[in-house]
Amino acid sequence: MNGPAPLEYNADEPQYPQQFDWTCSACSLAWLNRALGIQHATDELSAAEYIGTPENINAQYGLMDGSGRVLVDRLREQGAPAFNLWPTWDQAYQLALSWPLLIGGVTWNHWVGVRSAEAGLMELANSAEGWMNVWSTLTYNDWSTLGPFACVAVPLLRNFPPPQQTGA
């Protein structure tokens, strides 16, 4: 029995500047789709449409559910085993050491991709570099000031499902 193909992840996938002030979550989803090799909703407008305009994302409010739940739903529809949570800095940092993330800060009012974590910083795929003085990295101080943060994590399953055990 064959399981789902493992996702390949390119942390260096470029992030493009957003065209509209309400599409940061769509840009983040499009970046993650491209980074995972998903061939659907790979640009700002197609990702916004895929998220669902106007019921899930719109020009007045941006992403309607700040938990990222609809982003999880869209990733799962495309075969990515995503889940969402409201982590602490330490929890999000630990996840970012191994998995790609999307994070959205409530005070920041912005969603970005997290490429990786290193040396106490989260490396970002930020479609609005410079927004509230955050460019391509996020620090603990930024997290504390701009949160709380919702997080969408995508486990990179290399050997899933595990091989079946034989014998006793």
Instruction: Check whether 4 has a pLDDT greater than 90.
Output: no
Instruction: For residues 35 and 107, give the distance between their C-alpha atoms in angstroms, rounded to a whole number.
Output: 27
Give whole-number Cα distances, 141 to 19, 131, 155, 160, in Å: 28, 15, 26, 36
Q: Which of 160, 25, 152 is nearest to 83 (CA)?
A: 152
pLDDT band at 168 (very low <50, low <70, confident <90, very high): very low
Token pair listed for 161: 């499902």
Q: What tens digit of pLDDT does each residue of 77-118 get?
A: 999 999 999 999 999 999 999 999 999 999 999 999 999 999
Rounded Cα gap, residues 130 and 118, in angstroms = 20
In the numeric block, which tokens belong to residue 6? 């493992």
Query: Which domains, and CATH codes, for the chain?
Result: 24-153 (3.90.70.10)
What pLDDT band is residue 167 in, cutting at 50, 70 and 90? low
Half-sphere exposure of 110 (CA within 13 A, CB side): 23
Triad 150, 151, 152: Cα angle to 5°: 135
